[in-house]
Structure 1
Amino acid sequence: MVRLLRPQQWLKNLLLLFPALLGGQILVKGLISQSLVPILAFCLSSSATYVINDIMDEERDKNHPKKHLRPLPSGSISRVVAGVFAFFLVTTGLLLGGWCGQKFFLFLLSYLVVSTLYSIRFKNYPVIDIFCISTGFVLRLIAGGIATGVAVSHWLFLNVFLLSVFLSTGKRLSESHALGGRAKEHRMSLAHYPKGFLEGILYMCGAAVLVTYTVYTLQKPNLVYTVPLCTFGIIQFALLANSGKSADPTEALLKNPAILLISLTWLVMVLWTLYG
């Protein structure tokens, strides 16, 4: 049951804290405790979408070199139990979201709708599948701004959007390289991407991420010294994606020493610059 939740993916929900962190307000009294319920609501809701996705992909995952070990395709848990579990997660997540206010609830509901549509249908369509994943990141960011009462600047919005497209494209590219000729059997959208297309999108979005992040840091001058770190991280992730290794954003952060070190260094520099 714990594996079905994919708790390691909950790291993505820390994006709710980014508006307050980069807005210099994360240490405001009571703000972190105020953010706990919204983050929990997204954790439960995101886990529900993972369960739904696993139910939809059960047969296909049985022939995947790695995914066949997941609880559903391996037979560790039944579809009925997984379905009941997903319903419980959705209901609990929405109840917590409603407790956080109407605006937050609407963004949480939007996240659930987009993620569910992705699992049921949209993941089979090229480009649309990438934008569905990216939308999840953007909705987390805006919901975090609502939950903490910190406005999301235009440049931060653009930067997170482009970064999410970059990461999503990298994930698709790594899957394409890792699965080779069997890629379309496991993910239909990969059959529709022409050769070199995903690489082009990856490089285009990587460059756009660096431009928008640089402009964003100019509003907080001392943050400009974090741009080299971001450049290294972007290039390292692109290398992962092109090598066929797992380029899932969470796995890359947790399992790739270089990306983990760069991310922690970036966080320390941001905290020192804005709060030190």
Structure 2
Amino acid sequence: MTDGAKGAAVLERPHEVRQRVTPLGLPAGLLRTARPRQWVKNALVVAAPAAAGELFSRHALTQVVLVFCLFTLASAAVYLINDARDAEADRAHPVKRHRPVAAGQVPVPVAYAAGAALAALAPTLAAALCNPMTAALLTAYVAMQLAYCVSLKHVLVVDLTVVTTGFLMRAMIGGVALGIPLSRWFLITTGFGALFMVSAKRYSEAVQMAGKEGATRALLNQYTTGYLRFVWQLAAGVAVLAYCLWAMEEGGVARTSLLPWRQLSMVAFILAVLRYAVFADRGTAGEPEDVVLRDRALAVIGLVWLAMYGLAVVDW
């Protein structure tokens, strides 16, 4: 083959993987594929114990740290398998082509093998170190997320439901591990709050990718921005209503405090939703953790809400 022919062959394969796998680069690539920045989402495992005021005993803290680690293993398994399946599509994306699997730093078979091992390990450890319900919940999470990777992410509305349910499971598992009954208002608020952030993220992606090629999330071409706007607005409204009902229910009235902290926390919660909606409306609510950490006002509102709710739990 002449030099000109070789050059033409390269031009015909613009997304060809050229990066050579190295012994030191493989572990680093696997770690990057496990998305350390996303692990902050697993902090939701403290939600149920914190809401019930049962977070600060040694047993509770040990179990919460354990389920955090288990959920991190489970989510890492999903990320590895997802990136292995999407490697070709990711190479056509201006940002995702730098992911270790798409870039060739982690071979696709290695990503599949590591993901399968972690997917089996997390529920097994949960069964041995926690309780059967925790293991069942983790197993359901892994199965649902793998189904999402294979086919459900291509089904309208179902894709939003699956991602939202993943957040809800994170919020539930701490209570399940500790045997804490889960309030119906807690579940509704958490579920629709998660749907609000998930649909706001999809809306932002749709706005940013409008008219551009190389979108790896195929459903963005099927959803309209008007529909996604409707979903996040509806979810925000239901989450606020459920939280207010939760705060105002008879069992939520403080008995020893001079101020009704649980009821006052409604103000901070509503302000947080309204502030987050600013970014959703602009189409810049990409990653929830980035929005919260980068916006000082939203971070302050969140801390005020945490303080108020914490005082309500202590008073109760």
- Normalising by the smaller structure, the TM-score range is over 0.9
Which moves more between the two structures, 263-272 or 33-42? 263-272
Unmatched runs of 5 consecutive residues or more in structure 2: 1-29, 254-260
1:27 match: secondary structure:
coil
Per-residue CA deviations over 1:74-112 (Å, capped at 9, x if unaligned) read 222211221222122212212211121211111110000
Return the structure number with greater relative CO, CA threshold 8 A, min gap 6: 1
**Amino acid corresponding to residue 125 of structure 2 in structure 1:** L
Which moves more between the two structures, 206-215 or 28-37? 28-37
Q: Residue 47 of structure 2 contacts residue 172 of structure 2 at CA under 8 Å; is this kept in 1?
A: no
1:29, distance to aligned residue in structure 2 (A): 4.0
- TM-score normalized by the length of structure 1: 0.93
Q: Residue 189 of structure 2 contacts residue 239 of structure 2 at CA under 8 Å; is this kept in 1?
A: yes
Per-residue CA deviations over 1:198-223 (Å, capped at 9, x if unaligned) read 11111111111110011111142421
Correspondent of 2:187 among 145, 157, 161: 157
Which moves more between the two structures, 250-259 or 69-78? 250-259
Following superposition of structure 1 onto structure 2, how do residues 155-234 of structure 1 map, counting pairs within 5 Å?
A: 155-182=185-212, 185-219=215-249, 220-221=252-253, 222-234=261-273
**Is the aligned partner of 1:16 residue 2:45?**
yes
1:175, distance to aligned residue in structure 2 (A): 0.5
Per-residue CA deviations over 1:102-129 (Å, capped at 9, x if unaligned) read 1111111000011111111111122111
Paired position in structure 2 for 1:96: 125
Paired position in structure 2 for 1:49: 78
% identical equivalent positions: 26
Distance 1:151 1:137, change over 3 A: same
Distance 1:50 1:19, change over 3 A: same
Distance 1:263 1:66, change over 3 A: farther
Q: Residue 229 of structure 1 contacts residue 262 of structure 1 at CA under 8 Å; is this kept in 2?
A: yes
Following superposition of structure 1 onto structure 2, how do residues 1-276 of structure 1 map, counting pairs within 5 Å?
A: 1-99=30-128, 100-182=130-212, 185-219=215-249, 220-221=252-253, 222-275=261-314
Unmatched runs of 5 consecutive residues or more in structure 1: none
Please identify the structure whose Cα radius of gyration is greater. Answer: 2
1:184, distance to aligned residue in structure 2 (A): 8.0
Question: Which runs of 4 or more aligned residues in structure 1 lie more than 6 Å from their structure 2 counterparts after TM superposition?
Answer: none
RMSD over equivalenced CA pairs, Å: 1.9
Q: Residue 184 of structure 1 contacts residue 190 of structure 1 at CA under 8 Å; is this kept in 2?
A: no
1:136 match: secondary structure:
helix
**Amino acid corresponding to residue 231 of structure 1 in structure 2:** I
1:57, distance to aligned residue in structure 2 (A): 1.6
**Amino acid corresponding to residue 276 of structure 2 in structure 1:** F
Per-residue CA deviations over 1:151-175 (Å, capped at 9, x if unaligned) read 1101111111111111110111011
Q: Residue 38 of structure 1 contacts residue 96 of structure 1 at CA under 8 Å; is this kept in 2?
A: no
Paired position in structure 1 for 2:14: none
Distance 1:179 1:144, change over 3 A: same
Aligned length: 276
**Amino acid corresponding to residue 174 of structure 2 in structure 1:** G
1:136, distance to aligned residue in structure 2 (A): 0.8
**Amino acid corresponding to residue 205 of structure 1 in structure 2:** A
Q: Residue 203 of structure 2 contacts residue 225 of structure 2 at CA under 8 Å; is this kept in 1?
A: no
Q: Give the distance between the partners of 1:31 and 1:48, measured in 2 at CA.
A: 26
